[in-house]
Structure 1
Amino acid sequence: MNTKINRPKYNQIIDAAVKVIAENGYHASQVSKIAKQAGVADGTIYLYFKNKEDILVSLFQEKMGDFISKIEKAIEKETDAIEKLRLLISMHFNQLAEDHHLAIVTQLELRQSSKELRLKINEVLKGYFIMIDQVVSAGIDQGLFQSDLNNKMVRQMIFGTLDEIVTNWIMKDHKYDLVQQVDEVLELIVNGLAVKN
């Protein structure tokens, strides 16, 4: 698909899809509902996307790509591994707390998708996992984290923890401040990774 035709319209459709899918669920979100929310004709959607699944994958690629890029830029400026980790957790929680629709789509709706779609989503997440690995490696290099850690398990533990906390926050209808969890989550993760005396 040639998304260079009209980038603002493409972004309009992506943003509309986030809202429609969050409010109606992926399966009940017809392309016509997304088009109406975006303020475009149904046919316009097909100038940018093959089908509804393509919209969902593109939405995740766009939003998660932007998300990863912002976190990468922020943590590059930090030298201390624990501060890098704090920033990663804080930005993860902040981004989703600021966009409830996106949080619902990423935490709930994407989980109900087909195996093929989940594989495409995992491709996007690879960049995030690499970033977590780099933060953990920095902690090991700085003598803050254990040097014999199982990298894959640590990555799954960190991502899984953040993911589950956001999912729980959504399931509880955002009844508490997600961002206030940052320090406690950081402390738990750091305690698990720290060099034992």
Structure 2
Amino acid sequence: MPGARNGKRSPPRPEPAPSAEEPEKRRAILHAAVRVFAEKGYHGCRIADVAKQAGVAYGLVYHYFRNKDELLESVFAEQWTIFINAIRAIAEGPGSASEHLASICRFAVDVYKTSPSAVRVLLLEVARTPNVLRAGSTAQTFQTAVALVAGIVRRGQREGDLRGDADPTVAAASLLGALELTLTAAVVGLVEGAREEDAERLKAEVVGFALHGLSVRPRG
């Protein structure tokens, strides 16, 4: 019997400790995938293109990801995790509910300004490849984002900062939807947002439009 001597089982060998480089290499592959997907499109690129961009061996990509579909899903999960964590941090910080909603809008525009390739992949490549993402994980991601923003809206309604007659879930979905379409317009060149002055203007307009419908209506 393998692993046994004189009828006795030898103690199991300890698993080798993971290399400290492994997380870095996986991250490098993900970031390379974002650049390649943004430049060539998800359907127009190969795993070999990602490996070349990351500066790693072709087979190493398959060490971390089963196929190109899983690579795209991982890009989606990583970017949405960043956004959801930012919403949580904003919601738990100081300020009114309307200020928190404005901060979420500004954060989204800032992400586009600093990482346009990642935003392009999320808004265009993922949307064009609906079968890549598992329905359960995708739905859960969106539900989490909407629930967090709806929680901010509810707090604003309790504190009198936001209209009390608005449905919090509808308001949250509308705000996130407005952000998505605005950034899509920036990605395809319908609006400017990459330069500093353009980004500041875009943030001001997005915040104004997003919050106008939730503002408390003046009495009288």
Does TM-score exceed 0.5, indicating one fold? yes
Residue 23 of structure 1: aligned partner: 39
Query: Residue type of the partner of 2:114?
Result: E
1:44 aligns with 2:60: yes
Which of structures 1 and 2 has the bigger CA Rg? Answer: 2
Q: Does the C-alpha gap of structure 1 residues 186 and 174 become closer, same or farther in structure 2, counting only changes over 3 Å?
A: closer
Q: Cα distance, 1:32 vs. partner?
A: 0.8
1:106 match: 122
Instruction: Give 2:214's aligned amino acid.
Output: L
C-alpha separation in 1, matches of 2:107 and 2:66: 32
| 112-121 or 63-72: bigger deviation | 112-121
* Structure 2: runs of 5 or more not aligned: 1-17
Aligned residues: CA RMSD = 1.9
Structure 1: segments with no counterpart, 5+ residues: none
Of the three residues 139, 163, 171, the one matched with 1:146 is: 163
Q: Is the 8 A contact 1:86 1:186 kept in 2?
A: yes
| AA at the equivalent of 1:189 | A
Residues 31 and 104 from structure 1, CA distance in 2 versus in 1: closer, same or farther, beyond 3 angstroms?
A: same
Once the 2 structures are TM-superposed, how far is the Cα of residue 174 of structure 1 from its aligned partner?
6.3
What is the deviation of 1:26? 0.5
Is the aligned partner of 1:134 residue 2:151?
yes
Is residue 2:95 matched to residue 1:72? no
- Aligned pair count? 194
In the alignment, is the contact (CA less than 8 A) between 1:21 and 1:105 conserved in 2? Answer: yes
TM-score, length of structure 1 as denominator length: 0.89
Pick one of 157, 163, 177 that aligns with 2:180. 163
Moved over 3 A (4+): 173-176
How big is each residue's C-alpha offset from its partner over 1:105-130, in whole Å with a ceiling of 9 and x where there is no partner? 01111110134516243332333212
More helix, by proportion: 1
Return the alpha-carbon distance in structure 1 between the equivalents of residues 190 and 35 of structure 2. Answer: 16
- The answer as to whether partners of 1:169 and 1:178 remain within 8 angstroms in 2 is no
Name the aligned partner's letter for residue 204 of structure 2.
D
